[in-house]
Structure 1
C-alpha cells in the first residue's frame, strides 16, 4: 500500500493535521474516525460510533480517550486535543506529535515528551461493534498514563447538551457501562462524572450546522509504563456487553492480519490499487439482510444508486463476487413496479430514482460477464424482464418509454430522479425532466445486457433487440447537439414560452452525464474524439469532471457554506471523482491516452480522507475536497478503471 506518514510539520499544526481524517470500520456500518492531530472537528468524530438497525442509524458512544503522562517528578503532560466554544484549543497534545502513520489500515500516533516516546494504535473488531486502543512506551520511562474517557450517547447527526439528563454510568468489573449501551474496560478505572461544556466542531460550523456539543467525562483509566514495550490499553464495545472481546493488542494484530488478507485476495497490481482495495473494504457491510454498501463515511447510509454504480469496483475488482451475488439477489427482492428500492439515510424504503434500477441491470450484466455466473443471470431474468415491462407500461413519477422513439422519459412536479437530485428548501436544483442523456444511455445499455442474458438462458431475445435498436437509432438522432457535444436532456419542458412558442426544448448545458453515452459496455455511441476533447476542456480537473462547465451562468465554483449553499452548488459545478470512471472508459474506447488522468486523484489519497477518495471537490482551483471524506463510488470507480488499464 502507499506510504501514509506525516511528521510534526503536518501533525503539529491545525491547518494540516486537523484537515486529514482517518477511518476504521467494524464491518457493520459502525466506525471510529478522527483527524491526524487528534482534534475532533466533526460531530461524527469518535472512537466508538455504533451502527443501529440500518447503516445510517448510528450513535456516537466513546468520544475520546485523552492521554496524560505523569512523571515521577509530579509533572503532568496532556496529549489530548479539544477545541471549545470560546475559541480556545486546549489541550494541544498535537504539538508533541512526532509522527502519524496509517500502516495496514491501522492508525498510529507517536508523541515525544523529551526522551519519553509513547505510541497509540487503534483498531476495531470486524463483525462486532467494538474498538481497542493500545498505548505503548517506546523509549524512556518510567511514567504513568492516565486516559480520560469523554462519552456521549446520541444520534451521530446531532448533539447532546448539559441541560438534559447526565449520562448513566454504572460501574462493572474493570470499568463501566454507559447508558446501558456500551461498555468501557481497562486498568484502574476511577469514575468522575461531570460535563465538559462547549466542545466545538469547526467543520460543522463551516457547513452551517450547529457546531457545539457537551461531553460527559465518565472517568479515567490509569496504568504504569515502566519500561519500553509496556502497554496500557482500553476497550469499548456495544452489543453483548457481557461477552468481552479479545485483548486490545490481539484486536490490533487481528485487524492488521485481516486487512492484509483483504488486499491479497484482490491481487492488486501496485500500491495504489492495494490502498484502494482496502478503502473499498470499509464500504461493504454485513446486515441482517445480507451484504450491503455504505455510500460514504461518516454520515451516509445505503443508497441503491450508489451501491449499483459501485458494484463492479467494490465486489468484482476485489475478489468478493460471492458476496456480490448475495447482494444482487437481495436487492432484486426489493423491485416494485419495475423500480429498485432506494433505502435512504432515514431508513425508509422509497422508490424515487429513475437510474438506480438501470444501474442494477448494469451490475447484474457485469457480474455475469466477469464471473461467468450464468445461473444468477437466469435466476434474476424474470425480475429483469419485469423491469423492462414496467418501464414500457409506465411506472411512478412519469417514468415511461416513449412509444414513438423508445427512449425513456421521466419527471413529475417537485421531483429530482436522476443522480443530480439536490434540493434547496424542497425545490429540485436540477430536476432534468424529460429524457436525460445518461438515463437513456443506461436504458440502452440495460436492454442490450438483458438481451444477452436472455440468450444465455436459451430464450428468445428478438423483442429486446428490436426495442434496443429503435432506442439506439433515436438516441443517435436526438442527442448530438450543434455545440459539438451531447444534449444533457431532450424533450425537456420549457420553463416559460410565449404564445405559440415551443412547449419543449433540448438542454445543451455542458455536463458530464453524456460520458455514459460513450463509456458503457453497450453504449449507444462510438467515442467521438472532438466531442470528448470539448468535454475534457470544459469539465476535467485533477480530481475528476465538474458537474457543470465554468462558462455556464449557473456555475458555482465552491461547494461551501450552509446546507442551502452547498446543495445549490452540488451539481452546478462541483467536482465528482466518481465521474473519472466514465471519462476514462470513454477515452480508452476512443484510443485516447489516459495514464496521466490519475496523477491528481492518486495524490489526493493522502490529502483528505486518508487512503480513500472524497465525495466531491470544489469546481475552482485548487479543487479542495469537500463532502464525505470517504465515498464508495469514488473509490470503486477509480479502482475499477485503474484495474482495467494497468
Structure 2
C-alpha cells in the first residue's frame, strides 16, 4: 500500500480533495504546484513556474494547466477542472479519477467508460522542463487524446486579464509548437515524443477563480489564453510523453530523460522519506552557488531561515556535502557583510542582528554531526571572525554591553524572526535585550572556546571567552529569569515583557545554557503547559494578552495574528532538545508520540511536507506557505535526535 495514495471516494469529493496540494521542484527555482485533482486554487499554482532573473527576482507562471480530453466514438470526455463564479466547477474531470498516488511521482488514474488512462508528472532536475507521461492502460475501441494548454506568462504573484498586447503567433517545433506571449519572456516549447497535430483555435478562458487567494483577501479572478489544442491517437498499452520547457528538445530523448529522472526519486513511502524529499526540494542552485529556499510557493532565500533549516535539511538526511556547498555560498555573503557592509542580492536579511548567531548555531550542529576537529578545520576561521566582529561591536545593530549581554534596537524595524509589521512598524516591538539572542550568544562563547580548548597557544583567548561567558551567565539570569520560573521575552530599559513566548526555549535547549537544570525544568514546564500543541509550539500563551490563535482574514488581520498564538512546528526542534536534556532516555517515548501530529500532515495541506504555521487551537489547521524549510528541517532534526537516543 502506498504511503501517499488517495482513492476514488476522496478524489471525487472536492471538499476533501481540493484542499490537498502537491509540489514538485527542479532544485533551481522552478516548480510545479497544484491540487491533487489538478485544479489550481492559488495564483502561484501552475504546471510550469520558473524564475526569470532577467526580469526580476520572482517566479513566473508560463503554463498554468494542461487539460486532457479523451475521445471515444466521437464523444469527448474532458478531464480538466477549473473553478468559476458561484462555486461552479467545470469541466468536472475529477469525477473520472479512480486514484491518485504520489509515492514516487504524482500519478493520477482516470476511468472513462472502458478507457483507463494514467498520468504521471516528472520535473527535470536543474532544468526548466516538466514531463507528463500518459499511458493507456485499457481501452475497448479506438481512442484519441486532445490537450488544451492554458497559458499565463505572468508573475506568480499577479493575475492575467484578457488584453490585446498578447502575441498570438506560434512557431512550429519538433512534434509540437512554441509560444511567447509577451516581450521579455522566454519561448515555451510544448512537444510530444510522437507526431502530433496542433489545431489553432485561440480564445480566452475567462473568470477562473482561485479560492485560496479569495480567502486571503487578494484579487482572485483570472483570464487565461488557450491557443488551440493538440490531438493524437493512442493505443492500448502505449505511453506518450509530453514536454513543456523553455528550450526545444529532441522528441526521441524524452523517454530516456523520463526514465533517468525516475531513478533519482526519493520514494515517499515513510514519514522520514517524505520529509527528506521535501527538504531536497528547498535546495536551490544558481550557476555555481547553492542556497536553501525558505519555502514555497512565495518565499525566496532568507538568511535566518537558511541557517536554521540547513542542519535538518542536509545533515539529518546524511547529506554533509550539500551542507558544505550551501554554507560556503552563505559564508561569502557573511564575510562580504562583515568586511565591507555589502548585503547579498540573493540571501535576504543577511544584515539582521541575529543572523551571525544563527550561522554559528548551524555550524555547531555540523560539528556534532562530523567532529569538532573537522568543523574547526573547515569553519574555525569564520567562527572566530564572527565572535570577534560581535565583541568589537562592529555590527550596526548588535551591541555588546558591559554586562556581557547583547542589545539591539527593534523599535522601528523588526530584528528577530517575529517580524510582522503594520503601517511600517513592528507589531511586536521586541527591542533591547532579547532572550534568544543572548541564549545563542552564551552558547556561542562556550562553543567557540571549546573549538580551541586543547591548543595551548590559544589559552589566553579561551580564558577571555570563558570569562565573558561567566559574566554573561550572571547577567542573563538577573535580566530574564522571573519569579514565576519562566523567562522574560525581552527587556528594554525598565520594561520587561511578561508574555509567555517560545523564545525562552533556546536558553533551555542549547548545548551550553546559562541556567541550571532545575531552572530549565521549571521554564520547560511552563512551555509544555501553555505553548505545546500537536502541531508545534504556540507563539503566545492563551493566558497572555492579545492571544489570537487563528491565522485567517485579510492581510492586516493575518499579520496581527501571525505571532500572537499560531503554532510553529520548527520550534519543536528546540523543545525536543530541551526535553531530552532534562529527561534523557525517559523522554523519548513522549516526543515520539508528539511527532504523530506531524506525520498526520503528510496527507494534509501540501502532501508530503509541512505548512508554515498552524492554528493555536483545535483542530490546528495548517496555514500560510504550503511547504516551509525550517519546519521540515527541524522535524527531521528531531527524528535524528530520537534515533540517536534509541541507539543508546
Structure 1 residues 250 and 472: CA distance shift in structure 2, 3 A: farther
Map 1:174-323 to 2 at 5 A. 174-179=175-180, 180-186=186-192, 187-227=196-236, 229-238=237-246, 241-244=247-250, 247-260=253-266, 271-323=270-322
Q: How far apart, in 1, do the equivalents of 2:405 and 2:2 lie?
A: 45
- Cα contact 1:338–1:386 (8 A) shared by 2: no
Alpha carbons 1:99, 1:109 under 8 Å: kept: yes
Displacement of 1:169 in angstroms is 4.2
Distance 1:333 1:224, change over 3 A: same
The aligned residue for residue 542 of structure 1 is: 534
Deviation at 1:220? 1.8
Tell me the secondary structure at the aligned position of residue 154 of structure 2: strand
Give me the TM-score of the superposition, normalised by structure 2.
0.91
1:621 correspondence with 2:629: no
Q: Distance in 2 between matches of 1:606 and 1:519?
A: 30
Distance in 2, matches of 1:342 and 1:37, equals 42
Q: Rate the CA distance shift 1:339–1:508 in 2: closer, same or farther, 3 A.
A: farther
How far apart, in 1, do the equivalents of 2:14 and 2:4 lie?
18
Q: In structure 2, what is the equivalent of residue 500 of structure 1?
A: none
Is 1:505 equivalent to 2:495 in the alignment?
yes
**Does structure 2 retain, via aligned residues, the 8 Å contact 1:169–1:176?**
no
Q: Provide the residue aligned with 2:472 in structure 1.
A: 471
Instruction: Write the distance in 1 (CA, Å) between the matches of 2:497 and 2:506.
Output: 17
Query: Within 2, Cα distance between the matches of 1:155 and 1:299?
Result: 11
Partners of 2:614 and 2:512 in 1: CA distance: 30
Between the aligned partners of 1:331 and 1:57, the Cα distance in structure 2 is 20
**Structure 2 Cα separation of the partners of residues 604 and 341 of structure 1:** 40
Q: Note the C-alpha offset of 1:322.
A: 1.6
Secondary structure of 1:323's partner?
Answer: helix
Aligned partner (choices 520, 531, 539) of residue 523 of structure 2: 531
Give the equivalent residue in structure 2 for 1:437: 435
Summarize deviations over 1:62-103 as a string: whole Å, max 9, x none: 11110111112x211111000124542111111221111102
How far is 1:465 from its partner? Answer: 1.8
Deviations 1:372-403 (A, max 9, x none): 37466345434333322332333455321111
Describe the superposition over 1:161-213 as per-residue Cα deviations: whole angstroms up to 9, x where unpaired.
11351245422222222214321112222233221112110001111111112
Q: Does structure 1 retain, via aligned residues, the 8 Å contact 2:291–2:330?
A: no
Change over 3 Å in CA distance of 1:526–1:176 after alignment to 2: farther
Trace 1:99-178 onto structure 2 (pairs within 5 A): 99-104=99-104, 106-141=105-140, 142-163=142-163, 165-173=165-173, 174-178=175-179
Q: Distance in 2 between matches of 1:628 and 1:5?
A: 23
Partner of 2:646: none
Given that 2:47 and 2:65 are in contact with CA atoms closer than 8 Å, whether structure 1 keeps it comes out as yes
Matches within 5 A, 1:567-646: 567-591=559-583, 592=587, 593-646=590-643
Q: Could you tell me how far 1:248 is from its partner in structure 2? A: 4.3
Give the C-alpha shift of residue 27 in structure 1.
1.3
Matched, 1:60 2:92: no
Q: Which 5+ residue runs of structure 2 have no aligned equivalent?
A: 181-185, 644-648
Partners of 1:315 and 1:321 within 8 A in 2: yes
Deviation at 1:446, TM superposition (A): 1.7
- Give the Å deviation of 1:643: 1.5
More displaced 10-residue stretch of structure 1: 272-281 or 452-461: 452-461
* d(CA) in 2 for partners of 1:181, 1:373: 50
Mapped to 2, the partners of 1:124 and 1:342 lie a distance apart of: 32
**Alpha-carbon spacing, 1:415–1:338, altered in 2? closer, same or farther (3 Å):** farther
Structure 1, unaligned runs of 5 or more: 264-269, 494-503
Corresponding residue number in structure 1 for 2:183: none
Distance in 1, Cα, partners of 2:299 & 2:219: 18
Go from structure 1 to structure 2 and tell me whether the alpha carbon gap of 1:24 and 1:342 turns closer, same or farther (over 3 Å shift). Answer: farther
C-alpha separation in 2, matches of 1:246 and 1:30: 24
Cα distance change on mapping 1:277 and 1:162 into 2, 3 Å: same
Checking the alignment, whether the CA contact within 8 Å between 2:303 and 2:348 is kept in structure 1 is no
Note closer, same or farther for the CA distance 1:532–1:538 as it changes in structure 2 (3 Å cut): same
Of 384-393 and 443-452, more deviation after overlay is shown by 384-393
Q: Relative to structure 2, which stretch is displaced further, 137-146 or 250-259?
A: 250-259
| Distance apart, 1:364 and its partner CA | 1.7
Cα distance between partner residues in 1 of 2:251 and 2:506: 47
Counterpart secondary structure, 1:522: coil
CA separation in 1, counterparts of 2:43 and 2:466? 52
Is the aligned partner of 1:518 residue 2:515? no
Aligned match of 1:497: none
Question: What SS does the aligned partner of 1:594 have?
Answer: helix
Instruction: Write out per-residue CA displacement over residues 582-624 of structure 1, whole angstroms, 9 at most, x where no aligned residue.
Output: 1111111111332211111111111111111111011121110
- Counterpart secondary structure, 2:9: helix
Contact 2:477 2:514 in 1 (8 A): yes
Mapped contact 2:11–2:94 kept (Cα < 8 A):
yes
Deviation at 1:412, TM superposition (A): 4.3
Deviations 1:428-472 (A, max 9, x none): 111210111111111111222222233467634222222222212
Q: 1:289 to 1:463 in 2, by over 3 A?
A: farther
C-alpha contact (below 8 Å) 1:422/1:571 kept by paired residues? yes
- Mapped to 2, the partners of 1:340 and 1:5 lie a distance apart of 50
Give the superposition deviation at 1:329: 2.0
Distance in 2 (alpha carbons) for counterparts of 1:75 and 1:255 = 35
1:349–1:489 Cα change, 3 Å:
closer
Aligned mates of 1:472, 1:168 — CA distance in 2: 69
Conservation of the 8 A alpha-carbon contact between 2:178 and 2:190: yes
**CA positional deviation for 1:39:** 1.0
> CA offset at residue 343 of structure 1?
5.5
CA deviation after TM superposition for structure 1 residue 340, in Å: 9.6
Q: CA RMSD for the aligned pairs?
A: 2.4
